Amino acid sequence: MQDYESAEGLSEEEEVAQIVQEKQVEQLTQEMQQLAMFVSNDPITFEEAVKSQVWRNAMESEIVAININGTWELTDLPIGAKKIGVKWIFKTKINERGEVDKCKARLVAKGYAQQVGIDYNEIFEPVARWDTIRLTLSIAASRGWKVYQLDVKSAFLHGEITEEVYVEQPKGYEVKGKENKVYRLKKALYGLKQAPRAWFSKIESYFVKEGFERSTSEHTLFTKKEGETSVLFVNLYVDDLIYTGNSKQMLEEFKNSMKMEFEMTDLGCMRYFLGIEVTQTPNGIFICQKKYANEILEKFGLANCSSVKNPIVPGCKLTTDIGGIKVEATCYKQMVGSLMYLTATRPDLMYVVSLVARFMEAPTVMHQQVVKRILRYVKGTTDIGLFYTR
């Protein structure tokens, strides 16, 4: 057994507690290192996750957030009512450098069991379009403004619901002696059909209360003016917000107001947003998807392929190719879909990606070869992006 030297001034009990704490920290560090190496091996079941201290801490944080927010109350299931199941979902968040950012455990309701008209009505929630986000960045760059980013913690838990919805107690957190009871939801839970709509209604009412005006053509763009010159722009994408303006005072007041209303994570200057890397310099703003491009190349087995100079052979004309050899449509759709998202910062791919997208119903070897050529072109151009100059 390893000997430990007693620290000066510590009792035997305090020394043992300190040793246990050091061991726990060491265990957590080792687990985080393993997670960094095997990110794809996130736990699937509660029984698998509960073996790790990292995931136990993540689940505990989720339950604490739910209780602090007043999301539910324990009650008996009314006669004739049905309860909806819940499930733990585990995900390791990765930053733009490929490092582990955090381990997230999310308690999700099994919304597929809900019935329209009984458990929910409206479910639609608008999200910001990429052309709006790019336009915001362009305006900020041209005027020398900084763009900042906020993240709402457990955003959907803030949305208030009007329907009577009951869920079962989460596995591992049943109330002793009351295992037969259920939770009646007062606010939305992730996985509910109406959760996105409830959250958007909540934050939209906040913006109205704070004096913002919503754009008539883009429902997730909010603006606020003070005096003749001060202006603030806010773009909302579910629980991610980017904001910019020409008044430091308005920027600071908005951030502080959001922190008072919701539990927020202040991410500082915008640098990584929905898989897009953002670099802000005195000369302008550069956005690209280098990390995402490398990920899709790895996913489709082309990480070590040789690159080409153009995304399609000049003069190539794609047709339906009725007599061609069919390929797996699912894989083809996945490749084209991944390339579609890459066009958010790659207008040079726009034409050829829209071309191959026409044949997702019945792709053949000819179509797949063109898609692979696009990926080989991406291989040699992962650093390409959009630069908005000042």
Cα 1 from Cα 385, distance rounded (Å): 57
Give the rounded percent of residues in the chain with a pLDDT score beyond 90: 54
Cα angle at 244 between 239 and 246, to 5 degrees? 160
Q: Say how many C-beta atoms besides its own lie within 10 A of residue 162's C-beta.
A: 9
- Give the pLDDT confidence score for residue 159 in this predicted structure: 85
Mean pLDDT of the chain: 86
User: What are the residue ranges of helices labelled H in the chain?
Assistant: 12-37, 46-49, 53-68, 130-143, 195-209, 248-261, 290-299, 329-342, 350-356, 365-379
Sheet strand arrangement including 276-281: 272-273, 276-281, 284-288, 385-389
Q: How confident is the model at residue 264 (pLDDT cuts 50, 70, 90)?
A: confident
- Phi, psi values for residue 190, rounded to 5°: -55, 140
pLDDT of 268 reads 93
Q: Is the pLDDT of residue 103 over 70?
A: yes
Confidence of residue 22 (pLDDT cuts 50, 70, 90): low
Say how far apart CA 340 and CA 344 lie, in whole Å.
Answer: 8
Give me the domains of the chain, ranges plus CATH numbers. 12-125+162-190 (no CATH), 130-154+198-287 (3.30.160), 289-389 (no CATH)
Q: What is the mean pLDDT of residues 234-263?
A: 93
Q: List the 166-167 sheet strands across, edge first.
A: 72-75, 182-185, 166-167, 83-84
Predicted local confidence at residue 23, as pLDDT: 52
Q: Six-digit token pair at 204?
A: 């939209």
pLDDT at 18: 56
Q: What is the model's pLDDT at position 375? A: 96
Mean pLDDT along residues 94-109:
82
Q: How confident is the model at residue 226 (pLDDT cuts 50, 70, 90)?
A: very high
User: 247 or 94: whose pLDDT is higher?
Assistant: 247
Confidence of residue 113 (pLDDT cuts 50, 70, 90): confident
d(CA 202, CA 188): 11
Residue 193's Cβ-count burial label (10 Å; 0-12, 13-18, 19+) is: buried
pLDDT digits (tens, 9 = 90+) for 175-191: 888 988 999 999 888 88
Q: How confident is the model at residue 10 (pLDDT cuts 50, 70, 90)?
A: low
Q: Could you tell me which residues are beta bridge partners of residue 160? A: 187
pLDDT at 34: 45
Mean pLDDT calculated for residue range 190-202: 88
Asked if the model's pLDDT at residue 3 lies above 50, the reply is no
Tell me whether residue 236 is exposed, middle or buried, using C-beta atoms within 10 angstroms of its C-beta: 0 to 12, 13 to 18, 19 or more. buried
Strand ranges, E, within 110-215: 147-152, 166-167, 182-185, 213-214
- Quick one: DSSP state of residue 345? S
For the residues of 306-332, what is the DSSP string, one character each? PP-SSSS-TT------TTSPB--HHHH
Element spanning 235, H or E: strand 230-237
Cα–Cα distance for residue pair 377/307, rounded to 1 Å: 5
Q: Distance (Å, rounded) from C-alpha 212 to C-alpha 234?
A: 9
Contact 310, 302 (CB under 8 A): no
| Structure confidence at residue 9 as a pLDDT band (50, 70, 90) | low
The answer to whether 272 and 96 are in contact (CB under 8 A) is yes
Exposed e or buried b for every residue in 257-294, given b needs 16+ CB within 10 A? ebeeebbbeebeebebbbebbbebeeebbbbbbbbbbe
Q: Give the pLDDT of residue 40.
A: 52
Residue 99: the pLDDT is 77
What is the pLDDT confidence band of residue 285, given thresholds at 50, 70 and 90?
Answer: very high
Is the pLDDT at 146 greater than 70? The verdict is yes
| 255 pLDDT above the threshold of 90 | yes
Mean pLDDT value of segment 259-284: 92
pLDDT of residue 193: 86
**Residue range 294-350, pLDDT digits in tens:** 999 999 999 999 999 999 988 888 888 888 899 999 999 999 999 999 999 999 999
Q: What is the pLDDT of residue 270?
A: 94
Cα angle 167, 89, 271 (rounded to 5 degrees) comes to 125
Question: Is residue 15 very low, low, confident or very high in pLDDT (cuts 50, 70, 90)?
Answer: low
What phi and psi values does residue 244 have, to the nearest 5 degrees? -155, 165
pLDDT at 30 over 80: no
Q: Which of 11-25, 69-83, 98-112 has the highest mean pLDDT?
A: 69-83
- Give 26's pLDDT tier (boundaries 50, 70, 90): low
| C-alpha–C-alpha distance, residues 363 and 167, integer Å | 43
Dihedral sign, Cα of residue 6, residue 12, residue 18, residue 24: positive
Q: What is the mean pLDDT of residues 139-145?
A: 95
Are the C-beta atoms of residues 156 and 229 closer than 8 Å to each other? no
**Structure-token pair, residue 179:** 């295992």
pTM beyond 0.85, yes or no: no
Is 125:239 a contact under the CB 8 Å cutoff?
no
Higher pLDDT, 92 or 97: 92
Give the phi and the psi of residue 241 in degrees, each rounded to 5: -125, 135
